[in-house]
Structure 1
Amino acid sequence: MPPIDERSSRREFGWFMLIALVVLAAGIGLRSPWPPDEPRFALVARQMLESGQWLFPHRGIELYSDKPPMLMWTEAFWMWLTGGWRGAFLLTSLLSGLGTLALVWHLGRRLWNDRVGLIAATLVLATMQFVDVVKHAQIDPLNLFWITLGNTGILLHCLRGPNWRMYWLGCFAAGLGVITKGVGVIALFMLLPYAVMRMRQWPGVVRTQGDGWRWAGGAVAFLLAIALWLVPMLTAAYGLRTPEYLAYVQDILFRQTAERYANSWQHEEAPWFFLVVILREWIPTWLLLPFVVAGWRAALRLRDPRVWLPLAWVVLVLVFFSIPSGKRAIYILPALPMLALAMAPEVAALLKTRWLPRVAFGIASVCAVVFVGVGAWALLKAPKAARRIAEGYELPGHGEPLWWCVIAVGVGFLVAAAVFRPRRGVAALLAGIGLGWIIWPVGTYPLLDANQSTRQLMEEADQRIGPDGQLGLVLWREELLYQARRPVAEFGFARDAADQLRDGRAWQAADPAHRWLLINDEALDACVVTEKVVPLGVANRTRFSLLPADASKPGCVPTAPKP
């Protein structure tokens, strides 16, 4: 039987994970995939199930080579296991988020103690970007889990080892991260500061002799994980040797990795972009940074690798992603768990101060006032901003139910502040944040889903064309194909809009009485007969229309898109 203190620690961790489950799972099953990324991965996963083609993901009739297939495999598994349950596409993100929290807790308790582990995991869960990302079915939560698992294995080996199995597991997880998003290799950056600390003889760093083959085993484990997908994929592609599959190999192995890093063609940002991201999206965790710096300086004087090995890795990650011109806020999320781990011992000391609970209580109170005030203002005054948001979501009136949800979030902070009072202000702030993440999705997902998922648009299109109608998609988005109520024709996703529309008209001309084109209004050209167009409305701030066969001028050859 474990000691009483250990049982108490496990019980605290169990309650923490239960709270995390409620916060992160709130809203699952209440919505379909939302753009920009969720419908793409859900569509690819569903096509995998339907076609049995697992090595080469397809988006419609085209191969999808932007990302490796790991996330789509997991989503397809959950769809199969749950029988196509509406919330299945979010389960990978949920489990990845919970797994990341468990790993951070485990690292903290192994490197320090149970309290530090729980504080580190709480810092991650309290951070806005972490919860926001985990509540979406993107690749990044799964990638975050693999990288954190890689960090865990390497840190436990280097600081609490030697533990070669954990080291090999960490390297294997980094390889799984590579076949998830390509950047899983950053977990191995942890070995660089470890090598420096070892050469400088920092205390607490594991030193081994005559184990070169075991260290090399990490590279084998890393490559083995990648080979699980890469070898069968290359074997099949070069066995088929069609231009389509050879282009897939070229794109996913070179253009989407090395070329994208060295010569980014999207999301160009300034070198300091990620510092702004931290200030904007790592709230409230970064607010504690000024108060832990003194502890970090003391740890540096003592040459404590438990603090400075993860911190050095965080710096390397920031530098790595800051070098290319293309940057997205999501890129640095894997650095958050290691930053929280390095902060946790100092935060444990801050929690004993008298000022921190009072400041936290003040922040919770301000959040209550801001959310209630903004929601009430939008509800009662109907400003232009409120009306514009309501129009974008096609909400009736000026979006009154949405502003009630904003008010409800403020009430959640108010209740938390009233229950915990200033003496337990940190608990008040954390409870308010947690309630906000529960109230908002539960309240807004059912309200916004019809528009965000294009479910309503596709239902209207299905009704308009009648039971015998056939639908073709031009300049379409993944959510349209995912929400289609019947089999549809499509003419490629990545092709030029004019080429799609030309092929769509040829398809329509073969059966003009029954075939309709659902078209993004940006693709309408000079050959369209405007008065024949059937407007469908706006979904995700994009306007769509139906084109019957007589909505195109006979014999017309467009020379330029219609202004």
Structure 2
Amino acid sequence: MLPTDDRTAWRHFAWFMLIALLVLAAGIGLRDPWPPDEPRFALVAKQMLASGQWLFPHRGMELYSDKPPMLMWTEAAWMWLTGGWRGAFLLTSLFSGLGTLALTWYLGRRLWDARVGLYAATIVLMSMPFIDVIRHAQIDPLNLFWITLGNTGILLHCLRGPNWRLYWLGCFAAGLGVITKGVGVIALLMLIPYAVYRARAWPGVLQTRGDGWRWAGGALAFLVGIALWVGPMLTAAYGLRTPEYLAYVNDILFRQTAQRYADSWQHQEAPWFFLVVILRGWLPTWLLIPVLVPRWREALRLREPRVWMPLAWCVLVLVFFSIPKGKREIYILPMLPMLALAMAPYVVDMMKTRWLPKVAFWLTVACGIVFTGAGTWAYKAAPKAARRIAEGYDLAGHGEALWVWVIAVGIGFFVAAAVFRPRRGVGALLCGMAIGWVVWPLGTYPLLNANQSTRQVMADADAAIGPDGQMALVAWREENLLQAKRPVVEFGFARDGAAQLADARAWQAADPAHRYIFLNDDAMDSCVVPAKVKELGTANRVRFVLLAADASVPGCTPVGTAR
């Protein structure tokens, strides 16, 4: 039987995880995949199930080599278990988020105590970028879980070891991170501060002798994780030896990894980009950092590796992703659990102060004022910004239905402030944030889904071509193929739109009475007859049209786009 303290710790953890489940799962099943990334991965997973081709992901008729297939495997598994993709596509992110929180709690509990673990997990959960990314079916939640698992195994071995199995598990998880997004290797950067602190004989750091083969076992475990997919994939690709598959190997193993890091061609930003990201988006977490700097400095003087191994790793990750020109906000998310772990021991003491609850309470009130005020202004005054947003989402009026939910979020903060009062201001802030994160998806997902997912446009296109009609997609997006109501024809995704349209017209000419071309209206060329174009409407700020056979000039050679 567990001691009373342990039973209390597990009870608190169970309640925390229940709250986390409610916050992170709110809205699942109420929407379809939304661009830019979700429809792509859901489409690839759906095609995996249909074709049985698991080693080489496909997007339509083309191989998809931008990302390894780990996320798509998991989404396909959830689709198979649940019989559909409406809610299944978000389950990997949900369980990755819950797993990350559980690992953060466990790591804090093992290194310090259960209260520190709970505070560390709470800091992660209350951070806006964490909830935002877990709410989306992207690769990053799963990548975050693997990296946190890698950090957990390495930290516990180095600071509470020796525990070679945990160390090997951590290295193996880093390998799984590589076949998830390629950057799982950053978990192994934790060994750099360990080596430095060990060389300087910091107290509490594992000192071993004659265990070189066991340390090398970590490299083997890392490579085994990578080989689970890379091994069979290379065997199949070089067995087939077609240009298509050989190009896939080159792209996924070299261009999308080493070349993308050394010579980025997308999302180019300044070297200080991530510092701006933290200041702008890591709310309210970063507000505690200035207060904690003196305590971290004292921990450095005391040579406390439980604080400075995670902190040093965060600095290394920040430097690692700041070197290449290509940067995205999501890259540094894996820092969050380790930063929370370095913050939590001191937040426990800060909770006993008078100023922190008061600051948190008035921050709660301020959030209520901002959301309620902004929502009321948009609802009543219909400013230009509100009308532009409503038009982009194809909402009625000036988006009154959307602004009601902005007001509801603000009211949630006011309710939390009224219930908890200044003496329990931290609880007020956490409760207000939780209410907001639950209310928003429950209210807005059904409101925005038809437009964001292109569900309505694809339904309208299906109705327009009639029961005997056939449809070809040109200059399409992944959500168009995913939401198609019947089998469609496509001529590649990455090909030039003009080449796709030329092939589509040749296809249409074979049966002009029954064949239609669905395309982004920006792809229309000079051969289109404007009066014959059927407008399907706007979805996700893109206008789509349908071309019957008489919507193109016979024998015309296009000389440019119509726009």
Question: Per-residue deviation at 1:85?
Answer: 4.8
1:398 is the counterpart of 2:398: yes
Partner in structure 1 of residue 323 of structure 2: 323
Partner in structure 1 of residue 229 of structure 2: 229
Partner in structure 1 of residue 79 of structure 2: 79
Q: Describe the SS at the equivalent of 2:181.
A: coil
Equivalent position amino acid for 1:51 in 2: S
1:541 is the counterpart of 2:541: yes
Contact 2:364–2:413 (CA<8 Å) still a contact in 1? yes
Unpaired runs of at least 5, structure 2: none
Equivalent position amino acid for 1:113 in 2: D
Q: Describe the SS at the equivalent of 2:461.
A: helix
Partner in structure 1 of residue 182 of structure 2: 182
Partner in structure 2 of residue 20 of structure 1: 20
Partner in structure 2 of residue 135 of structure 1: 135
- CA offsets 1:72-100 (integer angstroms, 9 cap, x no match): 00000000000115100000000000000
| Distance in 1 of aligned mates of 2:86 and 2:559 | 43
| Distance in 2 of aligned mates of 1:6 and 1:156 | 20
Contact 2:147–2:173 (CA<8 Å) still a contact in 1? yes
TM-score (norm 2): 1.00
Partner in structure 2 of residue 274 of structure 1: 274
| Distance in 2 of aligned mates of 1:124 and 1:403 | 28
| Distance in 1 of aligned mates of 2:538 and 2:184 | 38
Partner in structure 2 of residue 487 of structure 1: 487
Overall identity of the aligned pairs, in %: 77
Q: Describe the SS at the equivalent of 1:268.
A: coil
Q: Describe the SS at the equivalent of 1:33.
A: coil
Equivalent position amino acid for 1:474 in 2: V
- CA offsets 1:165-216 (integer angstroms, 9 cap, x no match): 0000000000000000000000000001110111111111001100000000
Equivalent position amino acid for 2:456 in 1: Q
Contact 2:474–2:491 (CA<8 Å) still a contact in 1? yes
Partner in structure 2 of residue 522 of structure 1: 522
Q: Describe the SS at the equivalent of 1:179.
A: helix
Q: Describe the SS at the equivalent of 2:388.
A: helix
Map 1:446-485; keep pairs closer than 5 Å.
Answer: 446-485=446-485
- CA offsets 1:393-439 (integer angstroms, 9 cap, x no match): 11111111100000000011011001100000000000000110000
| Distance in 2 of aligned mates of 1:294 and 1:111 | 21
Partner in structure 1 of residue 332 of structure 2: 332
Equivalent position amino acid for 2:55 in 1: L
Question: Per-residue deviation at 1:254?
Answer: 0.3
1:113 is the counterpart of 2:117: no
| Distance in 1 of aligned mates of 2:124 and 2:2 | 28
Partner in structure 2 of residue 411 of structure 1: 411
| Distance in 2 of aligned mates of 1:191 and 1:444 | 44
| Distance in 1 of aligned mates of 2:174 and 2:561 | 47
Equivalent position amino acid for 1:224 in 2: V
Partner in structure 1 of residue 429 of structure 2: 429
1:307 is the counterpart of 2:307: yes
Instruction: Provide runs of 4+ in structure 1 moved above 3 Å.
Output: none
- CA offsets 1:107-145 (integer angstroms, 9 cap, x no match): 101111111100000000000000000000000000000
Q: Describe the SS at the equivalent of 1:49.
A: helix
Partner in structure 1 of residue 498 of structure 2: 498
| Distance in 2 of aligned mates of 1:541 and 1:271 | 31
- CA offsets 1:449-474 (integer angstroms, 9 cap, x no match): 00000000000001111111101000
Q: Describe the SS at the equivalent of 1:180.
A: helix
| Distance in 2 of aligned mates of 1:140 and 1:515 | 40
Question: Per-residue deviation at 1:381?
Answer: 1.0
| Distance in 2 of aligned mates of 1:474 and 1:265 | 25
Map 1:6-405; keep pairs closer than 5 Å.
Answer: 6-405=6-405
Question: Per-residue deviation at 1:349?
Answer: 1.0
Q: How many residues align?
A: 563
| Distance in 2 of aligned mates of 1:159 and 1:506 | 67
Equivalent position amino acid for 2:82 in 1: T
- CA offsets 1:477-518 (integer angstroms, 9 cap, x no match): 000000000000001000011111111111111111111011
| Distance in 2 of aligned mates of 1:510 and 1:364 | 64
Equivalent position amino acid for 2:514 in 1: H
Partner in structure 2 of residue 420 of structure 1: 420
Equivalent position amino acid for 2:262 in 1: A
Question: Per-residue deviation at 1:281?
Answer: 1.5
- CA offsets 1:16-74 (integer angstroms, 9 cap, x no match): 00000000000000000000000000000000000000000000000000000000000
Equivalent position amino acid for 2:483 in 1: Q
Equivalent position amino acid for 1:298 in 2: E
Question: Per-residue deviation at 1:561?
Answer: 1.9
| Distance in 2 of aligned mates of 1:344 and 1:293 | 13
| Distance in 2 of aligned mates of 1:537 and 1:269 | 35
| Distance in 2 of aligned mates of 1:302 and 1:85 | 52
Equivalent position amino acid for 1:5 in 2: D
Partner in structure 2 of residue 442 of structure 1: 442
| Distance in 2 of aligned mates of 1:85 and 1:432 | 31
| Distance in 2 of aligned mates of 1:147 and 1:503 | 45
Contact 2:119–2:348 (CA<8 Å) still a contact in 1? yes
Question: Per-residue deviation at 1:306?
Answer: 0.4
- CA offsets 1:148-168 (integer angstroms, 9 cap, x no match): 000000000000000000000
| Distance in 2 of aligned mates of 1:548 and 1:393 | 27
| Distance in 2 of aligned mates of 1:464 and 1:57 | 32
Unpaired runs of at least 5, structure 1: none
| Distance in 2 of aligned mates of 1:478 and 1:224 | 33
| Distance in 1 of aligned mates of 2:490 and 2:219 | 44
- CA offsets 1:220-260 (integer angstroms, 9 cap, x no match): 00000110100100000011111110000000000000000
Equivalent position amino acid for 1:287 in 2: L
Equivalent position amino acid for 1:38 in 2: E
| Distance in 2 of aligned mates of 1:90 and 1:311 | 31
| Distance in 2 of aligned mates of 1:304 and 1:509 | 74
Contact 2:42–2:85 (CA<8 Å) still a contact in 1? no
Q: Describe the SS at the equivalent of 1:9.
A: helix
* Pairwise CA RMSD: 0.6
Equivalent position amino acid for 2:525 in 1: D
Q: Describe the SS at the equivalent of 1:267.
A: coil
Question: Per-residue deviation at 1:371?
Answer: 0.6
| Distance in 1 of aligned mates of 2:276 and 2:27 | 29
Question: Per-residue deviation at 1:346?
Answer: 1.1
| Distance in 2 of aligned mates of 1:137 and 1:438 | 17
| Distance in 1 of aligned mates of 2:115 and 2:468 | 65
Equivalent position amino acid for 2:315 in 1: V
Question: Per-residue deviation at 1:562?
Answer: 2.0
TM-score (norm 1): 1.00
Question: Per-residue deviation at 1:383?
Answer: 1.0
| Distance in 2 of aligned mates of 1:99 and 1:121 | 11
| Distance in 2 of aligned mates of 1:505 and 1:85 | 32
| Distance in 1 of aligned mates of 2:86 and 2:69 | 21
Equivalent position amino acid for 2:373 in 1: G
Equivalent position amino acid for 2:364 in 1: A
Question: Per-residue deviation at 1:559?
Answer: 2.2
| Distance in 1 of aligned mates of 2:244 and 2:174 | 29
Equivalent position amino acid for 1:303 in 2: R
- CA offsets 1:254-273 (integer angstroms, 9 cap, x no match): 00000000000000101110
Question: Per-residue deviation at 1:11?
Answer: 0.2
Equivalent position amino acid for 2:346 in 1: E
Equivalent position amino acid for 2:294 in 1: A
1:560 is the counterpart of 2:545: no
Equivalent position amino acid for 2:175 in 1: G
Equivalent position amino acid for 1:68 in 2: P
Question: Per-residue deviation at 1:525?
Answer: 0.6
Q: Describe the SS at the equivalent of 1:325.
A: coil
Equivalent position amino acid for 2:323 in 1: I
Question: Per-residue deviation at 1:388?
Answer: 0.9
